[in-house]
Amino acid sequence: MTPGRRLYLDKQSPAIFKSLNATAIQVRAQATELGLGRRLLELVNIRVSQLNGCGYCLQLHTARALAEGETTHRLSVLSVWRETELFDAKERAALMLAEGATLVAGERIGDTDYAWIESVLTADEISVLSWAAITINAFNRVSILSRHRVPVQSPAVTADAG
C-alpha cells in the first residue's frame, strides 16, 4: 500500500462484506413489505452518512435518493430537518431514529421523543428503520476506515451495497 491509502476492508474480507450487503438487501425487502419507500430509506442513509462524515456513502445515497424522486431542495436542508416543515411525521420519526442509532455516545432518544415515534410508526417500522440506520452506520465505517475515495463522477445507481 502507498502512503495515504488504506486496506479496503470490503476487498480484503469479501465474504464479510457480502454478509453486510445481504443485511442491507433484507432491510430493503422488509421495508418494502411494510410500505416504506426507498426514498425514506435513502433519507436515513444520507442523514447517518452526514453525521459520520462519509463522503463516499453521501454521494452514493444522494444519487439513489434523487433517482427515487427526492428533491435537491429537501436534501439541501436534511442536516437541519428539525428546523424545516419539509419532512412529514413518518420521515421525522425515521430521522430521529437514524440520529439515535448514530449518536450513541451523545444524547439518546428521550422517552418523550420515543413515545412520539411510537405514535407515528408501527413496531415493525421502528425495527426496520433502526436496522437501516445500523446497517448504513456499518457501511460508513467500512468506507471511512478504508478511505474509499469519492469518485469524480457520480457512481451508477445500483441495487446493492447499503
The pLDDT tens digits of the residues spanning 17-64 come to 999 999 999 999 999 999 999 999 999 999 999 999 999 999 999 999
Residue 158 C-alpha cell reads as: 445500483
Q: Could you list the residue range(s) of the whole structural domain that residue 94 is in?
A: 14-146
Question: Model's pTM, two decimal places?
Answer: 0.90
In a domain, 153, yes or no: no
The pLDDT tens digits of the residues spanning 94-150 come to 999 999 999 998 778 999 999 999 999 999 999 999 999 999 999 999 999 999 988
Q: What is the DSSP letter of 141?
A: H
Domain count, the chain: 1
- CATH number, domain with residue 39: 1.20.1290.10
Residue 133 C-alpha cell reads as: 440506520
In a domain, 103, yes or no: yes
* Sequence-separated (6 or more) residues with CB below 8 Å from residue 61: 42, 45, 46, 49, 136, 162
In a domain, 151, yes or no: no
Residue 130 C-alpha cell reads as: 433502526
Rounded Cα–Cα distance for residues 129 and 40 (Å): 9
Residue 116 C-alpha cell reads as: 412520539
In a domain, 159, yes or no: no
